Amino acid sequence: MAPSQLVVLKDATGITVAPIGTQFVAMESTLADGTTGVTLAPVTPAAPSAVAAGSSGMQTAPLLSGSWGNPVASGCFARITDTWTYMDHCYQMWKESNDGSSTKDWFALRHYGTVFPNSPWVANYAAISSSPTSGSSAQSWADYSPLQGHNGNCTTITVGVNSPVAGISTTISACETWQISKDNPAVNFGLLWSGPGTRSSRGLDYEISVSVPQGGWPQWSLPASTSGSAF
């Protein structure tokens, strides 16, 4: 099954992975160290009588049946330059519809840009990042992409979040060095490209998804920077 179709629950004995919508019963169990703890066991819908004994309550894994749909906001910023290089960067923002939650809303942000050398000069560094502004609703991490940096020849990678649902992704050529930075619990994320002496344009692209309290709205600061030299 696809990861978006699975739920992961953790109890005293470890981690349980099951299809979304699976019901679980909480039961007292004797753990490996001899102590008593509460563990979660999946319930087979066809045999409800099997969960009656020893049950101390039941919970239902949330149904994540929503979708991102079309962006709810998007835009591009004024060009920035350091004389040697210039850079354009833009953003897109989605809100998940039909998320099935009465307490949270989920949003996704894509921030991307391109750095160009001002011929005959060269590009050395470029960076884009995001951080919540003071007017934002409280944000909690849901997902981020890319998950790691890159160092080496150009390679095509997919950038896209999969939590709470998949559905928005893009492909981009990652060249030279990509370095990501991420804070937790603060929802700050950054992507730095470096390729000293590059005379070709280079792209940067990342996505994050967050949850906010029901009815809330996230706001981000989206800075960018670029740097080059004569050679």
| pLDDT at residue 59, as a whole number | 37
Q: What is the pLDDT of residues 199-223, one digit of tens each?
A: 999 999 999 999 999 999 999 999 9
73-229: in CATH 2.60.40: yes
Q: Is the pLDDT of residue 36 over 70?
A: no
Lowest mean pLDDT among 24-28, 79-83, 108-112, 202-206: 24-28
Residue 134, token pair as written in the block: 């003071």
Whose CA is closest to 179, among 200, 149, 207? 149
Query: Residues near 100 by Cβ (< 8 Å), separated by ≥ 6?
Result: 62, 63, 64, 65, 66
Q: Is the pLDDT of residue 42 over 80?
A: no
**pLDDT confidence band for 30 (50 / 70 / 90):** low
Whose CA is closest to 62, among 102, 25, 101? 101
* b/e sequence 89-121, b meaning 16+ C-beta within 10 Å: bbbbbbbbeebebeebbbbbbbbbbbbbbeeeb
Sequence ranges of the domains in the chain: 3-60, 73-229
Q: Residues 228, 82: contact at Cβ < 8 Å?
A: yes
Q: Is the pLDDT of residue 122 over 90?
A: yes
| pLDDT at residue 24, as a whole number | 58
| pLDDT at residue 16, as a whole number | 75
Q: Residues 190, 127: contact at Cβ < 8 Å?
A: yes
